[in-house]
Structure formats: structure tokens, C-alpha cells
Amino acid sequence: MPELDLPQRQATDALMLTGFWYRALPADRVVRNQMYKATLLEIPLVIGRDRAGRPFALRDACPHRGMPLNGGNFNGENLECPYHGWQFNVHNGQCQLIPSLTHDQTLKVDRIYAGSHPCEERDGFIWVYIPDPAPLSAGFTKPIEAPEAAPQIEKFSDKYNLAYLQAEMPVNIDHGIIGLMDPAHGPFVHQAWWWRSRHSIHEKQKNFEPIPNGFRMSAHTPSSNSAPYKLLRLYADADSITTTIDFILPNLRTETIRAGKYWFSSLTTVTPITRTQCRIDVVAAWNLFRWFPFGAELLKFVFAKFVEQDRRTMEMQAEGLKHNPHLMLIDDADRPAKWYFQLKSAHLEAKRTGSPMKHPMSGPVTLKWRS
């Protein structure tokens, strides 16, 4: 057997990439003048909205003695630590008051900062920017700016519906992501009598091309087994439907389906919570079914079913992974997973050396598999 036909050993490193935006919480769960706990990349955060509705994200640890801030008082503007009552501006983390200071003590209160993160609300989610770890400078770290805005869903008309779904997976970020881009599990995991059976398995051929920080499954007529496609067929001639799927570091999968003036667009993220836990958030926008009373529910139902099937599968997989088995990736079905690992290490290498990232793909590639 030629060497190339051997499966490739692949260990996941579970490394979580900093210097990117991550989804933290659904926006509709974060109300004004309230605080919520969230964890991203093992960093405990306190997230909330000020009295004008603007979201914020602070490290959930007081720069004085590390007390979690989420148990403190929040008046819609400043957050008061429950231990010694230091007060911080929630947007930039700047200290406003240290109650123990006497009037002749000259400590520069405004030079002290609780860690704060850039925070934006987009397409129904609160996004938080996680910067590269900075050298420790206890309590004096000014807020950093994010180099770019948080990702958003591409939309093709002014009016559209928006919905989200989420599921927690007890696996590390790598397994979460390669599970998301894995084309071969469909017939086995996503069976349903109203959808497909394992007998609908057939050979497929898809073209991929490199894009900055990721790869694209080039515009094509979608798989007859794809969920939005089945619904779109109710609207448009099958041949006029095209779909494009992108994967972009660190964790973004976008899918765009267009059929004439109708469109469906989604941005799915897999977010590292801890080293052994991730969360998948699917946010979709579409202009189909706006007139049809059950359309949104139908779409949500289909997606909820899929996400739940994936979640249950990864829960079982986590049992197997407990004992660190050897893993392998095969061609062509696992090629996207290989690209993911290669992109990740190329990104880290570029960061380490300061030189431009070397993309692992040199040009378009056609992959074949059965699913």
C-alpha cells in the first residue's frame, strides 16, 4: 500500500486561540442593570448591560484581592466589589472609588483598572474579544482595543428573521470544530424517517479553495440532504439554488444559500469554554417564510434536531476520549479537519515569527467522499 493511503495520526492539542472575538451569551438573556457569569477560554467573565442597554464584559476578579465581581452591586453604571467596596466603571474597568482611603491619602485611584474586554452586540449575541495574554501588571492594565469589529452574518435584504440555537459539548474545541466540518457522519448521526436514512448515502464531489485564514467550499448546488436546501426547494427551481460554506479561524462556519431573491445565511461558532468543554451556537438569518406562520418554527425544529444529534454524539465520544486513544484522519472525508489543524499551526507560527501566515492550501482542491 502506498504510504499516502495510510491514515494520518492526529492528536488534538485543544489549544485555544487568543486574539479573536468569541460569542459569550445570547443578547436576549442579558437585561439592563444586571450581571451574568460567563466563561470563555477558561477566563471567568462578568457580563452585563448598563442602564442605557450597552453591553460590557469584565474579568470576574477584582484587581484588589481577586474577589469575583459578579456578586457585587451594580447600579447600571459602576460595579462595586463585594469585599472592600472598590468601584469600577463597567466599560473600561477604571477604578472610581476606594472607600478605605482617607482624604489625605494620595493613591491614584484612576490608575487602577479591573480587566475589561471589548464587547459588542451582533446578530443577537454578545461578543467578547479575547486578547493575547499580556504580561502581568497588577491592576494597572488599561483596556485594549479590538483590531477589528466582531464577525457578523451576511444579509441580502433589509427585512429578515433571526434565530439562534445552542448546545454545550463535553469535548475540547478541536473535536467540536472537526465535528462541525465532518461530512461523513451525516448518514449515521442525522437519520430521521422524515429526513434521510443511511440508504440515501451517495458519492459526492466538492470543490474547495483557500481564503484568508480558512477555506471555502465553492458555490455549488447544495447537497440534496441539506436542511435549508430542502426547504428552499419549495420556493425556487433546484438549479437556481447555490450555497457557499466557509470555515475561518478560529471557529467560524458560515453558510450562505441563495435562490433568486430568497436567501438563508448562518454563522455557526464553536466556542472554547474550558479545555474540555465547548459550546456550539448556530445563528441563522433568512428572508424565507416571512409570510408563512410556521416557517421559522419549522427551520428551528430541523436545526434543533441536528444540533441535538451532534451534542448527543459528542457526549458519547467524550467517554471514549477520556483515556486518550490514538486518533486518525483519513482522506478525503477528513481533509477539512486536516486543513483546520494546519491552519491553526500556520497561524501560531506566523504569530511567533511575525511573518505572514503560510496558507496550507496552495490552490483549489476537489474532494470526494460518500455521505
Give the interface with Fe ion as residue ranges (CB under 5 A): 310
Among Fe ion, ligand FES, none, partner that 156 touches (CB below 5 to 8 angstroms by kind): none
52 or 138: CB nearest ligand FES? 138
Shortest distance, CB of residue 101 to ligand FES, whole angstroms? 12
Shortest distance, CB of residue 84 to ligand FES, whole angstroms? 3
Shortest distance, CB of residue 242 to ligand FES, whole angstroms? 55
88 or 303: CB nearest Fe ion? 303
Determine the Cα–Cα distance for residues 8 and 21; give it in Å rounded to an integer. 31
Among Fe ion, ligand FES, none, partner that 79 touches (CB below 5 to 8 angstroms by kind): none
Shortest distance, CB of residue 118 to ligand FES, whole angstroms? 23
Start-to-end CA span in the chain (Å):
25
Determine the Cα–Cα distance for residues 346 and 263; give it in Å rounded to an integer. 34
Q: β-strand 20-26 against 116-117: which pairing, if any?
A: unpaired
**Are 340 and 181 in contact, with CB atoms under 8 Å apart?**
yes
How far is the CA of 81 from the CAs of 3, 11, 66, 98, 348, in angstroms?
Answer: 61, 42, 10, 10, 37
Q: In sequence order, what are the beta bridge partners of 119? A: 128
Restricting to residues 28-87, which ones interact with ligand FES according to CB under 6 A?
Answer: 62, 64-65, 67, 81, 83-84, 86
**Side chain identity at residue 155, one-letter code:** K
Among ligand FES, Fe ion, none, partner that 64 touches (CB below 5 to 8 angstroms by kind): ligand FES
Tell me, residue by residue from 302 to 341, as one string, x for binding to ligand FES by CB under 6 A and - for no binding. Answer: ----------------------------------------
What is the CA 170 to chain-centroid distance, rounded?
15
Residues touching ligand FES, count (CB under 6 A): 8
Among ligand FES, Fe ion, none, partner that 310 touches (CB below 5 to 8 angstroms by kind): Fe ion
Collapsing DSSP to helix, strand or coil, 112 comes out as coil
Shortest distance, CB of residue 268 to ligand FES, whole angstroms? 38
Using CB under 6 A as the binding rule, whether residue 109 contacts ligand FES is answered as no
23 or 59: CB nearest ligand FES? 59
188 or 292: CB nearest Fe ion? 188
72 or 179: CB nearest Fe ion? 179
Nearest to 140 by CA among 167, 170, 110: 110
CA atoms within 13 A on the CB side of 217: 24
Determine the Cα–Cα distance for residues 200 and 274; give it in Å rounded to an integer. 37
Among ligand FES, Fe ion, none, partner that 259 touches (CB below 5 to 8 angstroms by kind): none
- DSSP code per residue over 286-299: E-SSTTSTTHHHHH
**Are 229 and 242 in contact, with CB atoms under 8 Å apart?**
no
Q: β-strand 252-259 against 43-49: which pairing, if any?
A: unpaired
Shortest distance, CB of residue 63 to ligand FES, whole angstroms? 8
Cis peptide before 7 (omega within 30 of 0): no
Contacts to ligand FES by CB under 6 A: 62, 64-65, 67, 81, 83-84, 86
